Structure 1
Amino acid sequence: MDWNLIRAFLATAEAGSLSAAARELKLTQPTLSRQVSALEASLGILLFDRVGRSLVLTPSGRELLVHVRRMGQAAEDLALMASGQAQSVEGLVKISASDIVAAYVLPPLLRKLHEREPGISVEVVASNGLSDILRREADIAIRHVRPAQPDLVARRCRDSAAHLYAARSYLDAHGRPERIEDLARADFVGFIRVEELVAVLRDERGLPLSLENFRWSANSFVVALEMVRQGLGIGVVQREAAERHDDIVQVMPQLEPFTIPVWLATHAELHTSRRIRLVFDFLAEMLG
């Protein structure tokens, strides 16, 4: 099989559109489209459904993608071996993540990484902004939105989730809410952009909340969690952090959890630095 056709399919499947894949491969969009069509013709199957300007994998396309990803990994490993560039697995890798992920998700993973690769050092950049890895503020970023820069390599990991939690002391003092209407009288702890949080809870989830409910807020997820633990109010807490504390309990578990997408992103050095590639793949494995 023609590797160029396989590569065109892989890039298109990962990017979700011909235009984004063409930028990644530095090809024109018509050229890439012809390569994908040629692969479909040679295999005799339809790989993508065209939905507006987007491409959606067919069941056959999803099945093929599993095998093609292995081929892509093997091809990149071969290129690294042949070039002899950045073969050392020693040195520093900077990982950017939100403060809650940096505090509660990364440390146990880094312990496992050290057991596998003791020569690698890691600097964690705890930031609730979107660190610009193109400016080398970090080598790898763990983000909760899909990176928009076309020069970045991104991979979607398993989603996390968050729920409403409160301290046992708060529930003892104010009672446990049993119905959605009960939340209108509750105190809440907010974080980062509180107005946006209120809009999501009220308009998308139908909770009877306003800014008046949010008597407490912080520009840090970790600080907001500590406020919840002190019994100041109810808060939206990421599952991995909540599971570490016995003094907070889930409130109204019948509510749908809040989905938190998890993306890994890195710059083009992923293809030439074995050290960064190793940590990137390790995080992708550990995060699902």
Structure 2
Amino acid sequence: MDWKSVNFDWNRARAFLVTAEEGSLSAAARALGMAQPTLGRQVSALEQELGVALFERVGRGLTLTPSGLELMDHVRAMGEAAARMSLSASGKAQAIEGTVSISASEVDSAFRLPPIIAQLRQMAPGIDVEIVATNSESDLRRREADIAIRNYRPTQPNLVARKIRDIHGRIYATPGYLDSIGNPSTPEEYCEADFIGFNRSGEFIAAMTRFGLSLTQANFPIVSESHLVQWSHVRHGLGIGIMAADIGDAEPDVAQVLPDLDPIVIPVWLVTHREVHTSRRVRLVFDLMAKELARPFYG
């Protein structure tokens, strides 16, 4: 359909635009300060006027149909033009406001995100940030988060992903703990050492084999699914654990174990949903995170 040949009410177009950016009628209604049923009627009226479905429901949220995606570009341009006219008349700078939800691992949430969020607060104080600190995968398609940091390339459709860089995983322990086990110098000499892992399954043991370490479940007297708990126990001299090298090297209480061995290479991807990426505030946060995550962590 040639959208430019269709004349429709701007209030309906704005209702569509904000609903697409917010991901649900309830969130859009709050953003516009209007009743949800009224907003829903405006969106439905626009669909009837155009003769197409603009949204489909996914869980508790809404996702754009192909027709909705096509219309989005035109309506966004209209909205930006209207905003520029208003700003020109008032002489005010355009504010970016609203909430952005970021899903990241416990380690990324605790170490990498704080300096980025500090910059964001200076750049756009109107943006509120919700950090979902989890080592599980948040479903961006169901709007469990707006942006996610992941260590693998996503394959789901309708996701926008950018490879940021590779980080190196290395193993660490305190000098005191290494002294207590005789400061081993070869992988074979670590077969009796204590390691702190995720669980007692073979996953962590398999990861350690990449360092040339032949371990069994007996090497793991302490386990925790929390990466921060693992790292805290390493820092307190209770055993050996793995950490991203830029974070581990910035910790003065620990030292690399077997530093001459090849590291585990861990990719870093930044991901958002295709429709959410059309939001100005999400794009701003996404671009800032992409820039800053490319830098090593310096503590």
Counterpart residue number, 1:253: 259
Work out the CA distance in 2 between the residues paired with 1:80 and 1:211: 59
Kept after mapping to 1: 8 A contact 2:106/2:226 = yes
1:241 Cα deviation (Å)? 3.0
**AA of the residue aligned to 1:91:** G
> Which deviations, in whole Å up to 9, do the C-alpha atoms of 1:239-276 show, x marking residues without a partner?
24324421111111101111111111111224421110
Counterpart residue number, 1:118: 125
Computing the radius of gyration over CA atoms, which structure comes out larger, 1 or 2?
2
SS in 2 for 1:149: coil
Among 243, 258, 272, the alignment partner of 1:237 is 243
Counterpart residue number, 2:77: 82
Kept after mapping to 1: 8 A contact 2:249/2:255 = no
Q: CA-atom RMSD, angstroms?
A: 2.3
Is 1:221 matched up with 2:227? yes
Kept after mapping to 2: 8 A contact 1:88/1:275 = no
Kept after mapping to 2: 8 A contact 1:88/1:274 = no
* Aligned counterparts, 1:47-58, within 5 A: none
* Aligned counterparts, 1:169-208, within 5 A: 169-191=176-198, 194-202=201-209, 204-208=210-214
**AA of the residue aligned to 1:235:** G
Relative to 1, partners in 2 of residues 1:80 and 1:162: Cα closer, same or farther, differing over 3 Å? farther
TM-score (norm 1): 0.68
Kept after mapping to 2: 8 A contact 1:100/1:241 = no
Counterpart residue number, 1:264: 270
Work out the CA distance in 1 between the residues paired with 2:166 and 2:215: 26
Is 1:149 matched up with 2:144? no
> Which deviations, in whole Å up to 9, do the C-alpha atoms of 1:149-193 show, x marking residues without a partner?
111111111112221100122112222220111111211110257
Kept after mapping to 2: 8 A contact 1:184/1:213 = yes
**AA of the residue aligned to 1:178:** S
**AA of the residue aligned to 2:274:** A
Kept after mapping to 1: 8 A contact 2:194/2:219 = yes
Runs of 4+ off more than 6 Å = none
Counterpart residue number, 1:14: none
TM-score (norm 2): 0.66
Kept after mapping to 2: 8 A contact 1:95/1:139 = yes
Relative to 1, partners in 2 of residues 1:146 and 1:96: Cα closer, same or farther, differing over 3 Å? same
| Unpaired stretches in structure 1, ≥5 consecutive residues | 1-77
Work out the CA distance in 1 between the residues paired with 2:129 and 2:172: 32
Work out the CA distance in 2 between the residues paired with 1:216 and 1:95: 30
> Which deviations, in whole Å up to 9, do the C-alpha atoms of 1:6-52 show, x marking residues without a partner?
xxxxxxxxxxxxxxxxxxxxxxxxxxxxxxxxxxxxxxxxxxxxxxx
Among 114, 130, 153, the alignment partner of 1:107 is 114
**AA of the residue aligned to 1:124:** I
After superposing the two structures, state which structure 1 stretch, 148-157 or 188-197, moved more. 188-197
Work out the CA distance in 1 between the residues paired with 2:162 and 2:200: 26
Kept after mapping to 2: 8 A contact 1:192/1:220 = no
1:126 Cα deviation (Å)? 0.2
Among 138, 144, 154, the alignment partner of 1:137 is 144
| Unpaired stretches in structure 2, ≥5 consecutive residues | 1-72, 84-93, 295-299
